[in-house]
């Protein structure tokens, strides 16, 4: 329990301001995640880094991920396309081909050699794409034919362009996308991953089906919240049957408004999904906080996560601009089981150690988040130098 938090009365004197010992820090306490014994609760977020040339994972990714791997830590690999039509970012990885499966294997091994647990986030961008990414230059597919607002980087990463108008999937085509996810999950296990996380957040294909601003369908996949969640639940069922529910997680952001995907009743959407997921007994649900950020400041949090926590019976992960103190508080309060860190973990490969010592953090460089350099802004962030007395 960290300094500044309120301990229980019988622990007050023992815990007051003692933050050096790992056992006193909620984020650094062990947790049983299904069949995986975690030694701490600091999780690496799935972060798109745009360094998989030709959409094939590269050897430098083994350095990047193993730098952030610790004994009993959980890492979630970057969003990885389930099919060629699922692409929308330059140099983002895939998991549909044999070449990609083989390329992932040494990366996974490097993480396992450090004693960490490694999940792969599987992904389809839907309408958040451009014809230049798509097979034969076809229109991106989506829940809708409404174009996403904004612009994206083209495949070579320099020019920017408007998102291409999408084509709404025909009802009979949806089963094929479910199959793509199932095969991607199978391939992830063949590559050695411990499990998969379905990317159901941030305005991508699954989220396009969820949100009533991006789902104007009149078939069984549109209209009511039950229908809008049907696609995601079919994916959960198919992937769970393929690899086992105890190796499946899902990321959800019902409160977000990324690339125009916003819902008029996000709490209802989140609660419905949380309750339905209980039927499948999946390993975890990973929710993105409703709080929004302006620059570096975090706005006051809405109440949204707490009802979802109460509704979902499994392990809960939360993400959304957490630091050390509010991460500890999220664990202590019972709001979540694990806390997911993105930018801070990107810039601090030894983030759990820095939290243990309450050390200063490296500042992340936003300019290199999505650049293709295999070292700069990727594997060159410094580790803490801990001086040991002679």
CA 183 to CA 196: how far, in whole Å? Answer: 12
Nearest alpha carbon to residue 188 among 117, 281, 120: 120
Task: Check if the beta carbon of residue 121 is closer than 8 Å to that of residue 76.
Answer: yes
What CA–CA distance (Å, rounded) separates 130 from 127? 8
Query: Which contacts (CB < 8 Å, 24+ apart) does range 212-215 have?
Result: 212/263, 212/264, 212/265, 213/260, 213/261, 213/262, 213/263, 213/264, 214/127, 214/142, 214/143, 214/144, 214/146, 214/260, 214/261, 215/143, 215/144
Give 310: exposed, middle or buried? Use CB within 10 Å, 0-12, 13-18, 19+. exposed
Torsion sign across C-alpha atoms 271, 274, 277, 279: negative
Q: Is 204 a catalytic residue?
A: yes
Q: Which is the catalytic residue, given 133, 163, 204, 381?
A: 204
CB half-sphere exposure, 233, CA atoms < 13 A: 21
Name every residue whose Cβ is closer than 8 Å to that of residue 160 and which is 6 or more positions away in sequence: 151, 152, 153, 154
Q: What's CA 353's distance to the chain center, in Å? A: 22
Task: Write out the catalytic residue numbers.
Answer: 204
């Amino acid at each position: 329990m960290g300094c500044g938090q309120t301990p229980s009365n019988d622990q007050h004197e023992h815990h007051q301001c003692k933050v050096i010992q790992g056992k006193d820090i909620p984020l650094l306490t062990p947790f049983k995640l299904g069949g995986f014994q975690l030694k701490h609760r600091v999780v690496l977020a799935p972060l798109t880094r745009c360094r998989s040339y030709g959409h094939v994972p590269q050897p430098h990714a083994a350095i990047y991920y193993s730098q952030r791997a610790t004994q009993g830590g959980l890492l979630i690999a970057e969003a990885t396309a389930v099919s060629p039509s699922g692409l929308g970012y330059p140099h983002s990885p895939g998991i549909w081909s044999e070449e990609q499966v083989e390329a992932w294997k040494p990366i996974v091994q490097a993480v396992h050699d450090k004693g960490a647990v490694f999940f792969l986030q599987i992904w389809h961008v839907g309408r958040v794409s451009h014809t230049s990414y798509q097979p034969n230059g076809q229109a991106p597919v989506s829940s809708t034919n409404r174009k996403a607002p904004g612009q994206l980087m083209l495949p070579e990463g320099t020019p920017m362009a408007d998102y291409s108008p999408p084509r709404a999937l025909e009802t009979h085509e949806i089963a094929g996308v479910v199959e793509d996810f199932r095969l991607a999950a199978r391939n992830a296990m063949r590559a050695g991953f411990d499990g998969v996380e379905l990317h159901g957040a941030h305005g991508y294909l699954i989220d396009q089906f969820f949100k009533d601003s991006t789902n104007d369908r009149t078939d069984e996949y549109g209209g009511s919240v039950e229908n809008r969640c049907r696609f995601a639940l079919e994916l959960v069922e198919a992937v769970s049957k393929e690899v086992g529910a105890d190796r499946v997680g899902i990321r959800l952001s019902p409160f977000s408004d990324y690339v125009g995907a916003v819902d008029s009743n996000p709490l209802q959407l989140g609660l419905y999904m949380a309750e339905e997921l209980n039927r499948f007994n999946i390993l975890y649900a990973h929710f993105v906080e409703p709080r929004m950020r302006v620059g570096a400041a975090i706005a006051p949090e809405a109440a949204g996560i707490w009802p979802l926590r109460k509704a979902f019976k499994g392990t809960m992960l939360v993400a959304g601009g957490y630091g050390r103190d509010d991460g500890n508080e999220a664990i202590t309060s019972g709001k979540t089981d694990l806390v997911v860190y993105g930018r801070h973990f990107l810039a601090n490969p030894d983030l759990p150690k820095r939290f243990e010592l309450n050390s200063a953090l490296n500042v992340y460089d936003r300019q290199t988040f999505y650049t293709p350099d295999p070292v700069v802004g990727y594997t060159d962030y410094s580790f803490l130098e801990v001086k040991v007395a002679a």
